[in-house]
Structure 1
Amino acid sequence: MDFWNFTLSMKGVDGNFKIDWQILGPILAAQAAKAIDPTTPHVYEAMHVYGSYDPSKSADSKLKNWFTNTLDKMSGVHVVLHERQKKRNYPKCPSCQTEVSVCLSCGSDMRGTEEKGVDTRIATDMVSLAWANGYNTAVLISADRDYVPVAEFLQTKGIKVIHGAFPPNGSILSQKCWGNINLPSIRNSFQRI
C-alpha cells in the first residue's frame, strides 16, 4: 500500500473519513479472496504500508511517530518509511521559465520536497516476497501506472495481483491486474467509528 496515495484518495472520496487500520488488512484479504473464488478459504498474512515524511516539519514528526509507534506495532502490519528529499530544482515561472529560488515575501527556499524510493521499494518487495513464496495473491493499493510491469510480471509467475482502486483513477493499472477492488464502495467496512 502506498500510504499517501491511499489516504489522499480516501480524503478525495470523503474528507472526514477515518480509517480503522487494524481491520483494513484482513478486509482487503477477504475481498481479494472473494474476487478470486468466494468458496475457497483465505489467510491474511500481512499488510505492508509504504510512506514518506519530511523530517523538517513538526506535523511530519508526529506522523513518523504514529507510523513507527502505532501502525507498525499492529498485528500483521509492516511499515516502510522514507525521508522526503529536497527537490533539486527550483520552480519555474510558467511564462518565462525563470527559476524562482526564494519566496519574494519571506525569503524561504522555494524548493519543496518529494517522495523518493517508495515506488521502487514497493515493486522490489512485491517481487522478492513472491520469489520467497511469501504469497500467492497481492492487493496493490496505488493508482500509479508505474506498477503495471510488476503486476504483469508477477502474473506470468502465477501470482494474482488485485488492484485496490479508486475508479476512475488508476484505470490502466486495474486493466493490467488480475482483478480489482473498488475501495470507495467498501469503505464502510473499514471505517473507524
Structure 2
Amino acid sequence: MDTKTTEKTATAKTDEVAEDATTEAADTTPGAGTPAAADADLLDEPDEQDDDEQDDEEAASPEATGIGAGAAAVVSAALSAVALTGTWTGKVVAERETLVGQIKTSGSGTPAQQISEIYGDAWHSTALVNGVFALLALIVAALVLTLPRRPAWVRAVAVAGAVLGGLGLLLSVGTYFDLFLSLPTAGS
C-alpha cells in the first residue's frame, strides 16, 4: 500500500512540475501570456465539453421518441385489430340494445318493428363501437406517422395500424348504414 501512495505522490509532483513549466513557457511566449489568450484557452475546453453534452442529449432523445412512437404504433395496430374483430364492450352494448328492443316490442310490436328494435339496433350499436375503435386507431397511427425521426419498424407498424384502422372504419360504416347486408324483412 505504501508503494501505491508513494507512486501517487510522485505522479502528483510530476504533474505540478509540468504545470509550472507550462506556465513559465506561456509567460515567455509572446502574446501567450496575455490574459485574453489565457481566457481563450479556457473557453475552448468548455465549448468542447458542451458539444459532447449536446451530442449525448441528441443521441438520447431519438431513443425516447422511438420508444414512445413504437408503443403508440403498437397501440394503433392493436386498436385496429380490436376494431376488426369486435370488443367485449360492443357485445355488451349490443345485448343491451337487444333487451331494450324486447321490452319495447313485447307483445305489441309488428314483426318488422321487432326485427328493427331487437336485431337492427344491436347490429348498429356494435358497428358504432367498432367504428370508434377504428377511428382511434387511425388517429394514433396518424400522430405516430407525423413524428420526426422515427425508426423504420415504428413507421411500418404505424402504417399497418392505419391501414387496418381504415379497413375497420370502412366495415363499421358499411355495417351501420346496412351497405353490405340489410336487415331481414318479415314476411307479410
Instruction: Flag whether TM exceeds 0.5 (same fold).
Output: no
Higher strand fraction (1 or 2): 1
Q: Bigger relative contact order, structure 1 or 2, given CA contacts below 8 A and separation 6+?
A: 2
Higher helix fraction (1 or 2): 2
Give the TM-score category using the shorter length.
Answer: under 0.3
| TM-score normalised according to structure 2 size | 0.25
